[in-house]
């Protein structure tokens, strides 16, 4: 007889997914991790492989999957601009065909499904901080559109299955998240700056560095995602992130200070359509999930620096 719930985490070998798998196992779930290692790493989950409650399946969600599960966290998707722009057609297929496959699976087995959406649905936002009611300002044909627009389609697809089939869905709009298990080469700002600082290389500031982002430590994010899945019923998309906003130049200075590095800050061209400011309004997450991030940026960076020191 089955006592534990079985939870599918797609993208479970990736950065956030690997932390989520660990936390779900700790919470007593059976976890099935599906990943094609497009941007994820075996190292992130190898210590879980001999756990009887953990199973790893190499699979691409662009193809249908037949499996019996109670809950699905759909995280499979490259998340760093460098990775998702590497093969934009693949990114669009993951966000569109991939979500149809996962929703089809959820419908067939009656599972709850949570989609890892993104602050990128707001594009380069004209409303600040971003509230869930804001429809966004996305360039539909720019270099980020393969990611932004497919995440928007995925939200639309989730809503269609909710309205048409009454499915139990959750949509998390995740803002910049960081921590151990990010890939050394994934090109995102936190991993780039830490790796550059630890190697004594120049720290690459794109543009003037006055653009802002709000950084959430991964433990807080995972806690929020599980709360969202466990919430009574769907309450619309929910922003998940840290409402404390930082300029990129301040982040660079903080990383240099915390690593004790001698690296110099240098300027590089600002990528096309790089959002000028980004900060979540998390009133909804506070109200419905009683959730807000606990880990301060400096403390999260210390842990992340320690991780990268260990692997590079």
Instruction: Decide whether 94 or 106 has the Cβ nearer to ligand NAD.
Output: 94
Query: Which residue from 19, 83, 213, 227 is in contact with ligand UDP, where contact means CB under 6 A?
Result: 213
68 or 210: CB nearest ligand UDP: 210
Residue from 72, 99, 195, 205 that binds ligand UDP (CB under 6 A)? 205
Among 37, 156, 271, 302, interactor with ligand UDP by CB under 6 A? 271
**Closer to ligand UDP at the Cβ: 51 or 277?**
277
Smallest gap from Cβ 303 to ligand UDP, in A, equals 18
DSSP characters for 189-253?
A: HHHHHHHHHHHTPPEEEETTS--EEE-EEHHHHHHHHHHHHHSSS--S-EEES---EEEHHHHHH
Under rule CB under 6 A, residue 280 binds ligand UDP: no
The 8-class DSSP code of residue 187 comes to -
Q: Which of 8, 33, 113, 189 binds ligand UDP (CB under 6 A)?
A: 189
* Continuous segment of H or E residues that includes residue 7: strand 6-10
Question: What b/e sequence results for 8-42 when a residue is b if at least 16 CB atoms lie within 10 Å of its CB, and e otherwise?
Answer: bbbbbbbbbbbbbbbbbbeeebbbbbbbbebbbbe
DSSP state of 284: H
Pick what 204 binds: ligand UDP, ligand NAD, none; C-beta below 5 to 8 Å, kind-dependent.
Answer: ligand UDP
CB 183 to ligand NAD: min, Å: 6
Among 6, 39, 96, 196, the residue binding ligand NAD under the rule CB under 6 A is 39
Asked if 263 touches ligand NAD (CB under 6 A), the answer is: no
Distance, CA of 259 to CA of 35 (rounded, Å): 33
Smaller CB separation from ligand NAD, 137 or 264 = 137
Work out whether 240 is an interface residue with ligand NAD (CB under 6 A). no
Residue list 126-185, contact with ligand UDP (CB under 6 A): 176
Residues assigned a catalytic role:
147
Question: Minimum distance between the CB of residue 213 and ligand UDP, rounded to whole angstroms?
Answer: 5
Binding partner of 76, given ligand UDP, ligand NAD, none, CB within 5-8 angstroms per partner class: ligand NAD
Residue 98 touches ligand NAD, criterion: CB under 6 A:
yes
Query: According to CB under 6 A, which one of 6, 7, 8, 11 is a site residue for ligand NAD?
Result: 11
Point out which span in 5-13, 205-213, 263-271, 280-288 binds ligand NAD (CB under 6 A): 5-13
Positions that interact with ligand UDP (CB under 6 A): 80-81, 176, 188-189, 192, 204-206, 211, 213, 248, 271, 274
Positions that interact with ligand NAD (CB under 6 A): 10-11, 13-17, 34-40, 60-62, 75-79, 94, 98, 116, 118, 174, 176-177
């Amino acid at each position: 007889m089955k006592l534990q719930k079985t939870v599918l985490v797609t993208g479970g070998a990736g950065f956030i997914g690997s932390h989520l798998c660990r936390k779900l196992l700790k919470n007593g779930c059976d976890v099935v991790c599906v990943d094609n290692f497009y941007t994820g790493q075996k190292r992130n989950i190898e210590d879980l492989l001999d756990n009887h409650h953990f199973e790893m399946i190499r699979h691409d969600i662009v193809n249908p999957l037949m499996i019996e599960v109670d809950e699905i966290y759909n995280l499979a998707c490259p998340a760093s601009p460098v990775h998702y722009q590497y093969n934009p057609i693949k990114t669009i297929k993951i966000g569109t065909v991939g979500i149809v496959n996962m929703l089809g699976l959820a419908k067939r087995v009656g599972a709850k499904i949570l989609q890892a959406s993104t602050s990128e649905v707001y594009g380069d936002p004209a409303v600040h901080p971003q509230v869930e009611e804001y429809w966004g300002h996305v360039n539909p044909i720019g270099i980020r559109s393969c990611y932004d627009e497919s995440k928007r389609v995925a939200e639309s697809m989730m809503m269609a299955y909710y309205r048409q089939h009454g499915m139990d869905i959750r949509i998390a709009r995740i803002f910049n998240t960081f921590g151990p298990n990010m890939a050394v080469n994934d090109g995102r700002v936190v991993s780039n700056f830490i790796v550059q600082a630890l190697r004594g290389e120049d720290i690459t500031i794109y543009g003037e560095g006055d653009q802002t982002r709000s950084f959430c430590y991964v433990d807080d994010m995972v806690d929020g995602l599980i709360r969202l899945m466990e919430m009574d019923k769907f309450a619309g998309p929910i922003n998940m992130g840290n409402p404390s906003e930082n300029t990129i130049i301040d982040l660079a200075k903080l990383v240099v200070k915390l690593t004790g590095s001698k690296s110099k800050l240098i300027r590089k061209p600002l990528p096309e359509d790089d959002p000028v400011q980004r900060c979540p309004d998390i009133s909804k997450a506070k109200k419905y999930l009683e959730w807000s991030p606990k880990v301060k940026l400096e403390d999260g960076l210390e842990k992340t620096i320690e991780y990268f020191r260990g692997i590079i």
